[in-house]
Chains A and B, each alone.
Chain A
Amino acid sequence: MFATLSDRLADTFKNLRGKGRLSEADIDATAREIRIALLEADVALPVVKDFVAAVKQRAREEDVSGALNPAQQVIKIVHDELVTILGGETRRMRFAKQGPTVVMLAGLQGAGKTTLAAKMALWLKEQGRSPLLVACDLQRPNAVNQLQVNGERAGVKVFAPEPGNGVGDPVAVARASVEEAKRTLHDVVIVDTAGRLGVDAELMQQAADIRDAVSPDEVLFVVDAMIGQDAVGTAQAFLDGVGYDGVVLTKLDGDARGGAALSIRQVTGRPVMFASAGEKLSDFDVFHPDRMASRILDMGDVLTLIEQA
Chain B
Amino acid sequence: AGSQGGFGRGLLRLLSRERLDEDTWESIEDVLLTADIGVAPTQQIVENLRTRLRVDGTEAGDPRSVLRDELLAVVDPDMDRRLQVSGEDGVPGVVLVVGVNGSGKTTTVGKISRILVAEDRTVTLGAADTFRAAAVDQLATWGERVGVEVVRGKEGTDPASVAFEAVKHGIEAGVDTVIVDTAGRLQNKQGLMDELGKVKRVIEKQARVTEVLLVIDATTGQNGLVQARVFRDVVDVTGIVLTKLDGSAKGGIVVAVQRELGVPVKLVGLGEGPDDLAPFDAGAFVDALLG
Chain A residues proximal to chain B, CB less than 8 Å: 36, 39-42, 44-45, 108-112, 114, 139-143, 145-146, 148-150, 153, 165, 197-199, 224, 226-231, 233-234, 237, 251, 253-257, 259-260, 279
Residues of A within 8 A of B104 (CB): 109-110
Known A141-B142, A146-B138, A234-B247; judge A251-B101 contact (CB<8 A): yes
B33/A253 in contact, CB under 8 A: no
A42 touches B134 (CB 8 A): no
Instruction: Give the 8 A-B CB pairs with smallest separation, nearest first.
Output: A228-B221, A110-B102, A42-B221, A230-B249, A149-B133, A256-B223, A145-B134, A146-B134
In B87-114, the 8 Å CB interface with A consists of 100-104, 106
Interface of A is mostly: loop
Contact partners of A139 in chain B: CB under 8 A: 272
* B residues 160-193 in Cβ contact with A at 8 Å: 186-189
Residue of B30, B131, B189 near A45 (CB, 8 A) is B30
Known pairs A108-B219, A233-B248; A39 contacts B33 (CB<8 A): yes
B134 with A230: CB separation less than 8 A: no
Task: Select A153's contact among B2, B133, B246, beta carbons within 8 Å.
Answer: B133
Q: With a CB–CB cut-off of 8 A, which chain B residues contact A153?
A: 133
Residue tally, chain B, CB below 8 Å to A: 46
A145 touches B137 (CB 8 A): yes
Contact A228 B219 (CB under 8 A): yes
Instruction: Knowing that A229-B34, A229-B35 touch, tell me 16 more A-B residue pairs with CB under 8 angstroms.
Output: A36-B39, A40-B222, A45-B30, A110-B103, A142-B134, A199-B247, A226-B224, A227-B220, A228-B224, A229-B33, A230-B36, A234-B247, A251-B102, A253-B186, A254-B188, A257-B223
Known interface pairs A153-B133, A256-B221. Does A109 touch B244 (Cβ–Cβ under 8 Å)?
yes
0 or 1 for each of B4-45: is its CB under 8 Å from A? (1 = yes)? 000000000000000000000000001001111011000000
Please name all residues of chain A whose beta carbon is closer than 8 Å to the beta carbon of B30 when the two chains form the complex. 45
Interface residues of B (CB under 8 A from A): 2-3, 30, 33-36, 38-39, 100-104, 106, 131-135, 137-138, 141-142, 145, 186-189, 217-224, 226, 244, 246-250, 253, 272
Task: Name the B residues within 8 Å of A237 (CB-CB).
Answer: 248
Q: Nearest residue in A to B30 (C-beta to C-beta)?
A: A45
> How far, in whole Å, are A233 and B58 apart by their CA atoms in the complex?
37
Contact B102 A112 (CB under 8 A): yes
Q: How far is the CB of A193 from chain B (nearest CB, A)?
A: 14
Q: Are B186 and A199 in contact (CB under 8 A)?
A: no
In the bound complex, what is the Cα–Cα distance between A170 and B220 (angstroms)? 29
Decide: A197 and B133 in contact? CB cutoff 8 A.
no
Q: Is the interface of B mostly helix, strand, loop or mixed?
A: loop
Give B216's nearest chain A residue, CB to CB.
A226
Q: How far is the CA of A231 from the CA of B138 in the complex (A)?
A: 28
B246 and A229: CB pair below 8 A? no
Neighbouring B residues of A259 by C-beta, 8 Å: 221
Chain B min CB distance to A141 (Å): 4
- A224→B102 contact, CB < 8 A: yes
Contacts of A199 in B (CB 8 A): 2-3, 246-248
**B105's closest neighbor in chain A, by CB?**
A110
Cβ–Cβ < 8 Å partners of B35 in chain A: 229
Q: Which of B3, B133, B187, B222 contacts A146 (CB 8 A)?
A: B133
Whether A198 and B248, one on each chain, are in contact in the complex, defined by CB atoms closer than 8 angstroms, is: yes
**A253-B102 Cα distance, complex, nearest whole Å:** 14
List, sorted by A's number, 14 A–B pairs whose CB atoms are closer than 8 Å: A40-B222, A110-B101, A110-B104, A145-B133, A145-B137, A199-B2, A226-B219, A226-B220, A228-B222, A229-B221, A234-B247, A234-B249, A254-B100, A256-B221
Nearest chain B CB to A237's CB is how many angstroms away? 7
A142-B134, A150-B133, A237-B248 are known contacts. Are A230 and B3 too (CB-CB below 8 A)?
Answer: no
- Chain B residues lying within 8 Å of A146, measured Cβ to Cβ, are 132-135, 138
Asked if residues A39 and B39 are in contact (CB atoms below 8 Å), the reply is yes
Please indicate which of the listed interface residues A146, A228, A229, A251 has the most CB atoms of chain B within 10 Å of its own CB: A228
Bound Cα distance from A118 to B133, whole angstroms: 11
Across-interface contacts of B246 in A (CB, < 8 A): 197, 199
